[in-house]
Each structure stands twice: as C-alpha cells, then as structure tokens.
Amino acid sequence: MEQRKLGPSDLDVPSICLGGNVYGWTLSEADTFHQLDHALDVGLNFIDTADVYSRWAPGHQGGESESILGRWFAKSGRRKEVILATKVGMEMGEGKKGLSARYITDAVDASLKRLQTDCIDLYQAHRDDPETPLEETLGAFDALVKQGKVRFIGASNYTGARLAAAMETSRKNGLASYVSLQPHYNLVERQPFESDLLPVIAKYGLGVVPYFSLAAGFLTGKYTRDSDPSQSARGGMVKKYFNDRGFAVVDALADIAKKHRSTPARVALAWLLEQPGITAPIASATNDRQFEDLAGAITLELDQDEIRRLCEVSAPVAA
C-alpha cells in the first residue's frame, strides 16, 4: 500500500484515513470493533477522531468516539499498529473550548484517558481560535510534544493567512509547528482550499488530510435528483449539492466508475488522491461495502482524460 509523508515529519501514513466521527453515532461499538480489526488487517491504520465526536447526537456529551477507540485499543492490544489523530478546540461544555494553553493542557489529558493511551500521534487544532494568541497556542502544543504526550501537531479549519501566521510564529519562536492541515475539500467543495490554502500548503510543505472527502455521502451516488435528503442522517449537509452542478459531478463519477467496474465513491477518492498536496483523504464507513470502497480507492488509477473531465465538471461556479 502506498505510504505518504505527513508534511515535513517522519510520519508516513496510508493514503486513506478512516474517519472516526461515526464511531458510537451511526456505527455501533461492536461494528466499530469489527471495522477496526478489518482495517488493520488490510493496512488501513490511520484513524482520525476528535474529542467533540459525537456531541451533536441526542444524549451524547462528546468523547464517545475516543472512548470507543480506547476500549478497542484495550481489547485488541493493537494501539502500536495505529497512527492516531484527534483534535481539540470545539466546544465540549460550558467554558470548554478554544485553544488557550490552559484548555489544551486539560483537554489532552481527557483525550488520553478516553483513548487509553499515553501518546497521540497527531494532535490537531480543530479550528482557529482568534481570541488566543498564536504564541500561546503553539507554546502549549510545543510543551505537549516535549512531554511526550503528542508526537506531531496539525491544524484544521484555518484560513490561509492564519495558517501562514502560525507557521511563522513557530519558526520565529522555535516552537513545534503544524505538519498538516485538515480542510473541507472534495469534488463539490473545491474552494477556498484551492485558492486560499494550497499556496500556503506548498510554501511550507504541509500534508493535507481533507475531511468530508465524499461530501457527506453525496459523491457515493446514493442520492438521485428525486431523492429526499431529509430522510438521511446527513441530509442537511447534502441538500446544498442538489443542483445541476452537483448532479453533473455525480453523473461523471458514475460513468467513470462503470468504465473501471468500480464505484463513484472510489472514483471520487481517487480524484482527490491525484490533487496537489493531498496526503490522505478522510472518509467514514458504516458497513463493509462502504469500507471496501475506501480500501479500493488506493489502487484505482484514473487516466488524465478522466481527471480532466472531473475537474471540468466540478469547476467552481464564478461568484
């Protein structure tokens, strides 16, 4: 399986990352354990979660995904086989959010406890915190690296300007710096990544681990023009793609998939893997068929005409 370097670090990862947002939400604990065992058996060992997953679900408090992963680590004994990424910064309750040094220090210990591990491979700022100086945030992350609680740090949901400022802050102050960015990027969500973030990524040599790689399931082909998105758990996320451009992308994916005897999901992920700067798209699976799509995307090779067709049909509409 192809391995890609995560930014300027020595952290090599498979070119697909399993999204842990579904663990304990739309995927039961038993099915999560089954998926994780299977994933490692086929070489998919890069897993991304966050402390806030899945606080949005009724009756959940946040930490559910990390806790399930922790119980799987304890049961399987396979923690050392996994490249573990989690995130901090989203609201976890009254006063529990942001990227202040005090909160990061408390939050990482809570995550480590839930995950039942003593070190996180990639600890990411879930979103920018403009209320906290970058020096404070990066100083806190630097301390965690020196303490051995974290191996590398990454960013998510930053603008290009703030990401560049963070990189320069680390450089000028001799602090640990971000090795990766986790942006929203896929065939129907190409901006602002391509215009605002990619130049910064290229300048600093960062790895890119895009989320919503399949546009919350829209790019899998499960929705048609006659579908009612409100009937899906993620219907609110995909409704905005129900337009001529969105379904033109889906039609192109279906045509290319048919040629390769593959699936639209695999083609969409294969396109992402061909884009500049992309290290490992994040995608979630809630059943074995979806999981096979993730694993199969790694070996699917698109030709230049197919890549060009997808780029043209998904071209962002001018404002």
Q: Known catalytic residues?
A: 53
Residue 57 tokens read as: 């679900």
Provide the edge-to-edge strand list for the sheet that holds 120-125: 207-208, 178-182, 150-156, 120-125, 83-88, 46-48, 17-19, 282-283
Q: Which residue has the tokens 């050392």?
A: 80
CA dihedral 123, 127, 132, 136 (to 10 degrees): 20
How far apart are the C-alpha atoms of 305 and 289, rounded to whole Å?
A: 28
**C-alpha torsion 243→247→249→251, nearest 10:** -160
Determine contact, residues 202/275, Cβ cutoff 8 Å. Answer: no
Nearest to residue 128, comparing CAs of 92, 101, 166? 166
